[in-house]
Amino acid sequence: VGWENELELSDHVELAEFFRRTYGPTGAFNAKPFEGSRSWAGARPEFRAIAYDSSGIAAHIGLLRRFIRIDGADLLVAELGLYGIRRDLEGLGLSSSFRVLLPVLRELGVPFGFGTVRPALHKHVARLGRGGLLVVKSGIRVRSTLHFALLDKPPTRIDDALVVVVPVGRPISDWPAGEMIDRNGAEL
């Protein structure tokens, strides 16, 4: 686990290639943000957890402290994103290594980790939830700022994604009820 500003140019190049290979099979548009040496899609992460093996990057997750607004109530969270596991390692339980972030989240003093995933990943994240690490919520819309302001589109988009909540400093019962989450910026 390291700070974003500790990465060298070679790290960004390797991460960009990892994300193109990881996200590309889900659609060319998903790999596009990682062209060249860009190792982030929307907001830049504050911290990254990167797992390596003899073949290079095995897995990655980024986090960024930010405020979100749930039906008008502001809440500090650590947004989790840029999650990926190299395709040859999928299904081997590597995602349970996600637990290495818990001490970092506690150190940051956030009440919750928060992220969103495509509905196609529901079974995958639900497996992580079986151990009590996280809770998956559906039926919540999430509004985010677009990565680029375009003259022919509104500056925000609304997704019907699955919301992933990791209780860190407070119990899951303290997560505010609501049907709309506003990110303060672009998706991580």
Domains by residue range for the chain, with CATH: 2-182 (3.40.630.30)
Tell the residue number behind the tokens 């079986």, with chain if given. Answer: 130
- Specify the pLDDT at position 3: 86
Burial class of residue 56, CB neighbours in 10 A (0-12, 13-18, 19+): exposed
Can you list the positions of beta strands (E) in 8-155? 47-53, 56-70, 73-85, 112-117, 135-137, 141-145
Mean pLDDT by 10 residues, the chain (188 residues): 90 94 84 89 88 92 94 94 86 69 90 88 71 85 87 90 92 94 90
Q: Is the pTM of this model over 0.95?
A: no
- Specify the pLDDT at position 93: 66
- Specify the pLDDT at position 96: 66
- Specify the pLDDT at position 68: 97
- Specify the pLDDT at position 99: 76
Q: Look at residues 63, 42, 45, 178 and name the one whose alpha carbon lies nearest to residue 113.
A: 63
- Specify the pLDDT at position 129: 67
3-state secondary structure at position 69: strand
- Specify the pLDDT at position 170: 95
